[in-house]
Structure 1
Amino acid sequence: MFPVPYQVRDIYNDNVDINIVLENGEVYFGTLFTLQNIKDIMESDSGIYFWSTDMLILNDLSQESISNVIKKLLSDGILNQVFSKIGTVESVFSHLGWNDYSDISSY
């Protein structure tokens, strides 16, 4: 899921925050970037450094690519090494009335 609606303007030059919600109710956070986006950020911020927590670089930010990379991280068993666990469905989304994965999966 996306904390804000998916609003990628250029799949080759943008970044997007994501929440990964697992069936066991765990919620992880990450930010996806493209290389071109990092280059543009570096150039506009004087190029001294670039840093982002829970960052993953993708070739493009199409919804298909995002879905494929999340599936790959899960199948490789490294999701918790790439992104940070931020809580459970209940603790992260209780303000929406969501208490478990079934509430999210119907969203």
Structure 2
Amino acid sequence: MQFKIMFPAPYQVRDIYNDNLDLNIVLENGEVFFGTLFTLQNIKHLMESDSDIYFWSTDMLILKDLSYESISIVVKKLLNDGILKQVFSKIGTIESVFSHLGWNDFSDIPSC
């Protein structure tokens, strides 16, 4: 299935090995999913800089790095393995999520 990746905030990863990033995955069938990507180094950094004894995040997926290539590869793998819906949350459809931008169809969504 075709997909497009969108970043709710601009892609501003300073260190692909130590950062985190929110993303939306838009499927050609119109479904839109949300998730947050982290690296292990980033989780370690966040835990060391905070006094909490635990770390969690809704819809979290840990990657080795946050390069565009790795993100695209992992989304393809989640889709091919049939587990995207278990890893990330469906937040709506293209029309319900992006209609305020004038996007109502998969072809309206710009590619990143």
Q: Do they fold alike, i.e. is TM over 0.5?
A: yes
SS at match of 2:109: helix
Alignment deviations for residues 52-95 of structure 1 (CA, whole Å, 9 cap, x no partner): 00000000000000000000000000000000000000000011
Paired with 1:10 and 1:83, the residues of 2 have a C-alpha distance of 23
Q: Does 1:23 align with 2:28?
A: yes
Which consecutive residues of structure 1, in runs of 5 or more, have no partner in the other structure?
none
Segments of 4+ moved more than 2 angstroms = none
Q: Does 1:76 align with 2:81?
A: yes
Instruction: Return the letter of the residue paired with 2:43.
Output: I
TM-score normalized by structure 1? 0.96
Aligned residues: 107
Q: Which residue of 2 aligns with 1:52?
A: 57
Instruction: Return the letter of the residue paired with 2:101.
Output: L
Paired with 2:103 and 2:60, the residues of 1 have a C-alpha distance of 26
Shift of 1:4: 1.4
Instruction: Return the letter of the residue paired with 1:79.
Output: L
Which consecutive residues of structure 2, in runs of 5 or more, have no partner in the other structure?
1-5
SS at match of 1:33: strand
1:1-107 to 2 correspondences below 5 Å: 1-105=6-110
RMSD: 1.2
The structure carrying a bigger helix percent of its residues is 1
Paired with 1:92 and 1:24, the residues of 2 have a C-alpha distance of 14
Paired with 1:57 and 1:47, the residues of 2 have a C-alpha distance of 20
Instruction: Return the letter of the residue paired with 2:14.
Output: R
